[in-house]
Structure 1
Amino acid sequence: MPFPTLRSVFAFQQNRSEERNLKNYKDSDYALNKFSEGIVYRFADRIVEITLEDYLAENPGKTAQDFLELKALSDEIYHEQVTHENRTSRLDVSINGLEETEQLAAPPLDLDLIHKNDTQKAKEAARRLLDSGELTEIQRRRFLLHFVEGLSYRQIAGREGVPFTSVHESIEAATAKLQKFFKSLILYL
């Protein structure tokens, strides 16, 4: 019997890997939903697919476009779940062979209360800063875009058509003012 070539070994390993990935993919709610025409819900005992016809029959005021938007949202939600599972599962490490027990560390109650209190003070400081008139209109707008709407400095710069550094400096100046308001709240409360 001839020895296998390096190429045949790699091909065999690749095929086995593809079979494993395909099997895992078939078990994936995301894949099931993504590659079906309808929106798929997997329950413990059954799988339900909502088709365009079902959707339109149940929602007479809706259109096919509404269904497609809902389908895209469904795909996105499943994708986020898979991404989150992949990120966290890589962090699962066996400690003393206790794989069957999944214990999550919770912060001590006092630290949790301190965090909540600080969060409330930070929100109050931000409210006072925004009401104070100490921010320029540009600082105020960028502060809200970054901290309230969650846009990055680069996204804000792209939206406004300005250099990244301008946005960075503006938000940093607003943040420095926010820190003053936060410190005053801590001292007086």
Structure 2
Amino acid sequence: MKNYKDSDYALNKFSEGIVYRFADRIVEITLEDYLSENPGKTAEDFLELKALSDEIYHQQVIDENRTSRLNVSINGLEDTEALATASLDVELIHKKDTEKAIEAARQLLDSGGLTEVQRRRFLLHFFQGLSYRQIASREGVHFTSVHESIEAATAKLQKFFEKI
């Protein structure tokens, strides 16, 4: 199994853009690149693609972990632990909950139910993967201010989620 820090998922998750790893190079598509190549698109469209790419890379990590036992010889098989594989119904429930949460987030973001500061920090944290400290550094504020904003937005999202 690959080291998490070296995975495509970690590389994509902790970068500001969408990252593609090729055999000989790594390419990162930034928000500016995306908007210049797609004049009719918005930053929110980019954030949706970023979230989708994170989800795809994450699923690849899960799939790799499930099949990592295939690389063990038959003689060493009894020394390995069985890998936990979620049942199909659990996976479908998780997927449904994820889709429901994304829909709730979209509705909340579009409804004006968040202040501009909460909205911006929520997007930076959950869709671009920035930490509270990274956002605080970017905005020149203390990280507890960022934490409080995101927690308030998350509480509002939870209420939206329950309504759907």
TM-score range relative to shorter protein: 0.5 to 0.7
Letter in 1 for 2:110: D
Letter in 2 for 1:134: G
- The equivalent of 1:123 in structure 2 is 102
The normalised TM-score by structure 1 is 0.47
Which of 153, 172, 179 does residue 151 from structure 2 map onto? Answer: 172
Cα distance in 2 between the residues matched to 1:115 and 1:128: 20
Cα distance in 2 between the residues matched to 1:122 and 1:131: 14
1:136 to partner: Cα distance: 0.4
- The equivalent of 1:107 in structure 2 is 86
Q: Does 1:132 align with 2:111?
A: yes
1:144 to partner: Cα distance: 0.2
Cα distance in 2 between the residues matched to 1:123 and 1:154: 24
Which of 132, 157, 178 does residue 136 from structure 2 map onto? Answer: 157
Q: Does 1:142 align with 2:118?
A: no
Gaps of 5+ in 2: 1-22, 28-60, 70-75
Gaps of 5+ in 1: 1-40, 42-49, 51-69, 75-83
Letter in 1 for 2:100: K
| More divergent stretch after superposition (158-167 vs 100-109) | 100-109
Letter in 1 for 2:138: R
- The equivalent of 1:80 in structure 2 is none
Residue correspondences, number:
101
- The equivalent of 2:4 in structure 1 is none
Higher relative contact order, structure no. (Cα contacts within 8 Å, ≥ 6 residues apart) = 2
Letter in 1 for 2:115: T
1:99 to partner: Cα distance: 5.0
Q: CA RMSD in A?
A: 3.4
Q: Does 1:98 align with 2:95?
A: no
